[in-house]
């Protein structure tokens, strides 16, 4: 049963086709900000695809980190966004490459 649930979760991950990225730093209201970064249309196996992904993450970090008042705060926030986006991209790619067939017993 656990294997079935794992495979269903992998398929659900594929259906999302976007990576929600949440800033580690909070904005003025205390709630984290989230921005979605589309990845389904990118060839992440190519340099051009990864460059496009990095550009999208950079734009997302500008939106998320715009409330940071100091340069150090902006840099730390942007670094956190990049790290989180890379983590989520890796998880997305792993789920996409996982087998999606379910063995019947």
Q: Does position 46 have pLDDT exceeding 70, yes or no?
A: yes
The contacts of residue 101 (CB under 8 Å, 6+ apart) are 7
| pLDDT, position 32 | 67
| pLDDT, position 61 | 93
Sorting pLDDT into bands at 50, 70 and 90, what band is 48?
very high
Give the closest residue to 13 by CA, choosing from 86, 99, 93, 77: 93
| pLDDT, position 87 | 92
- Residue 47 burial by CB count (10 A; 0-12/13-18/19+): exposed, middle or buried? exposed
Give the closest residue to 59 by CA, choosing from 39, 35, 80, 87: 35
According to DSSP H, which parts of the chain are helical?
2-16, 47-64, 71-97
Q: Does position 65 have pLDDT exceeding 70, yes or no?
A: yes
The model's pTM is: 0.65
Sorting pLDDT into bands at 50, 70 and 90, what band is 78?
very high
d(CA 75, CA 68): 9
| pLDDT, position 27 | 47
18 three-state secondary structure: strand
| pLDDT, position 15 | 47
Ranges of each domain in the chain: 2-97
Q: What is the mean pLDDT of residues 69-83?
A: 91
């Amino acid at each position: 049963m656990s294997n079935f649930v794992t495979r269903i979760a992998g398929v659900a991950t594929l259906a999302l086709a976007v990576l929600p990225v949440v800033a580690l730093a909070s904005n003025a209201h205390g709630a984290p900000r989230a921005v979605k970064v589309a990845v389904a249309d990118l060839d992440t196996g190519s340099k051009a695809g990864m460059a496009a992904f990095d550009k999208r993450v950079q734009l997302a970090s500008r939106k998320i980190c715009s409330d940071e008042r100091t340069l150090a705060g902006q840099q730390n926030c942007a670094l956190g966004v990049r790290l989180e986006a890379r983590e989520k991209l890796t998880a997305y790619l792993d789920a996409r490459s996982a087998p999606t067939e379910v063995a019947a017993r």
